[in-house]
Chain A
Amino acid sequence: MATYDFVFDALGLRGWCGEASTDTNAPMSMDELLAQSGGGDAPAVSLWELPFPSMDALNDACAAFPQSRELTQGLERGFLNVKDAMSFVLDPVTQPLSWALESSLYGILNTPWWIVIPLLMAITWFVSRSWGLLAFVTLSIAGLAFIDHYDYAMQTLAIIFVCAFICVLIGVPIGIAMSRSDGFQNGAIPVLDMLQTLPPFVYLIPLIFLFSVTEPKLYGIAIILYAIVPVIRLTNLGIRMVDPYVMEAAEAFGMTKRQKLYGVQIPLALPNIMAGVNQTIMMSLAMVVIASLVSAPGLGVLVLRGIRNLELGVGLVAGLGIVILAVILDRVTKASLARINAQQKS
């Protein structure tokens, strides 16, 4: 006898349930297993111990009712069924991402350090025009190189550059589209919320099924999905916050939609967009460490080694390297943001 027999009896579904629930050959639930090992019949259930009418409890009463493990299994089967079709589409579409990651990793490691480091210094100078920041960046990278972490740090940087660039490339147009249509915005916000709140490990699970773990695009996609959200949000916000009176003037002087977008909206939203890019870069850095679980190269690999082999020193030094990279990236993007702000206010 199971607790919820009466439900099926009352609804007249006993016939659909088939024979008495005991000689079912469905896999046993955990409770049943425990009950059996405990020996003897289950005692009559008191109201205090009334089980929740969950799928498993109902299955006890009626064999035809599915168990909850079938839910997870069904989901898995469903995913595996569409997986081939999805890979068929997604594989070629995302292939350029693999190429971009592979070639930038190859490029940064096979260019001599005495070219790469001055190049990074030049970029820093170009976007920030600040001697202090330039000195800080140079010393930090030189320091990392001095302790033989140069290759790892450069791999991490290369991945971040590629992913953040693609985030901007895709995210800004999505943000613009959101700013133009309230309907699209309302639909997109829950998706963005979900992308931002899902624990990053959860992205990795379906991606592992879709792509082979040896392909760079696997971690590339995981990083992009995680890091693209701020640039989309802030582009949308920035464009919506453009002074409506200025937009009215643009309209009154006969600007086309295109002229309004490139001549007014994007320039005025630029501080916000750049704030989004800054956050996107920081989130890429966070994710590239986690993505070392799925073969992303770089400092994350050392952190992982530190955890797996309990090599405390290796893990800590790599962690320090990540902090240094984070500070560099943050300061450089913030400095360029400040320059844009100053230009508009001057």
Chain B
Amino acid sequence: MRQKRDDKRTTVEIRHLYKIFGDDPKGALAHVEAGLSKAEILKEHNHVVGLNDINVEVKEGDITVMMGLSGSGKSTLIRHLNRLIEPTAGEVLVDGEDILSYGEEALRRLRREKMSMVFQNFALLPHRTVLENAALAPAVRGVKRADYEGEARKWLDRVGLGGNADQYPSALSGGMQQRVGLARALTSNAPIMLMDEAFSALDPLIRTDMQDLLLELQEELAKTVVFISHDLDEALKLADHLVILKDGYVVQQDEPQAILMNPGDDYIVDFISDINRARVLRVRSVMRPTAQPQPNVAGQVHPEDTLEKVIAISGGETGLRYAVTDDEGRQVGILEMEELVRALVPTGASESGMRARASA
């Protein structure tokens, strides 16, 4: 059963984070706080708003996906987590410690031991073999080759590159190179993994493979993953928690199913209008939660089943009703096929959403 979000430990906390690019970011910050839009600030003050009052909690063991269109500030945001970029204002806490107060040495320790990163363009070292690339993190820490080789080979095997250890990266295809990138992040044994559009440069089929590989690894390793994507299908597939960015601010963040069922504003409605809802929505989002047994149930379904699967089971009958039972066989809800069909039609923006915030 899914653990409730509130019960999980917060690993990374981003509080009131601002990043403004330009000659006088502090000066421009006042205008951002006064509520001027990104376009106005660019036009009138010649500064680029990268991030605007970001507040996100990243929970331990979750895949937190940050999603948004090009230029929405995703890369900027993820680079604040290991301070490849310095913020204009705000705080970033990792395991409760403010990493902005870190000196050079402490920052290096954070990057070496707590966080690893996977890049969109792989960023492998071309003059080192696949094995040496995978073993970058321990090598940087000063571990002897004999001591890290086993670990690096293990992860290369795990991502399916056991036979390529002694090749150079340029001999590999893009998908294989990104597997090396993934192995490099895994070999570091860091609990937090930052992935900036890690699969965006890959062909669709290979991308799906990599997503499956990540989910499979996640099943067993339960790392805290921050994943950047501009692809909604990918985001919905991977995310435990989905953060949607636009022009540097957070439009909505929630569990993906909740965003699909209750989009916060028109921007999100547009965003999710093209997806195949039957494939991503799950029974638990549509069912009526109740432990009361109901008459005339046509069968049992699992709360994590997709609607697509239920439609297949029902053979397209809309008058049916299913009992939703969890792994232990207890009933947790009732699914009416009518409700299911209604859920397939995209909903409008909920009034309680963040429309006011977005149009500001």
Q: Is residue B320 contacting chain A, with contact meaning CB distance below 8 A?
A: no
The answer on a CB contact under 8 Å between A254 and B111 is yes
Cβ–Cβ < 8 Å partners of A243 in chain B: 123
- Complex Cα–Cα for A203 and B111 (A): 51
Cβ–Cβ < 8 Å partners of A212 in chain B: none
Cβ–Cβ < 8 Å partners of A248 in chain B: 84, 119, 123
B139 smallest CB distance to A (angstroms) = 8
- The contact string, 1 if C-beta is below 8 Å from chain A, for chain B 106-119, is 00111110011101
Specify the main secondary structure of chain B where it touches its partner.
Answer: mixed
With A245-B123, A256-B108: A346-B117 Cβ-Cβ less than 8 Å:
no
The answer on a CB contact under 8 Å between A268 and B126 is yes
Q: Is residue B356 contacting chain A, with contact meaning CB distance below 8 A?
A: no
Please name 8 further chain A to chain B contacts, defined as beta carbons within 8 Å, in addition to the given A252-B194, A268-B126, sorted by A numbering.
A245-B121, A248-B123, A249-B136, A251-B111, A268-B125, A344-B168, A345-B126, A346-B168
Give the A-binding residues of B (Cβ under 8 A). Answer: 82, 84, 108-112, 115-117, 119, 121, 123-127, 136-137, 140-141, 168, 170-171, 184, 188, 194
- Complex Cα–Cα for A256 and B139 (A): 12
B178 smallest CB distance to A (angstroms) = 13
Within 8 A of B (CB), among A243-294: 243, 245-246, 248-256, 259, 263-264, 267-268
Give the B-binding residues of A (Cβ under 8 A). Answer: 243, 245-246, 248-256, 259, 263-264, 267-268, 343-346
The answer on a CB contact under 8 Å between A267 and B127 is yes
A66 smallest CB distance to B (angstroms) = 48
- Complex Cα–Cα for A252 and B125 (A): 13
The answer on a CB contact under 8 Å between A249 and B117 is yes
Cβ–Cβ < 8 Å partners of B171 in chain A: 346
Cβ–Cβ < 8 Å partners of A263 in chain B: 125
Q: Which of B82, B136, B168 has the most CB of A within 10 A?
A: B136
With A243-B123, A264-B125, A346-B168: A253-B84 Cβ-Cβ less than 8 Å:
no
| Identity of the chain A residue whose Cβ is nearest the Cβ of B111 in the assembled complex | A254
Q: Which of B108, B125, B168 has the most CB of A within 10 A?
A: B125
The answer on a CB contact under 8 Å between A346 and B126 is no
- Complex Cα–Cα for A159 and B92 (A): 59
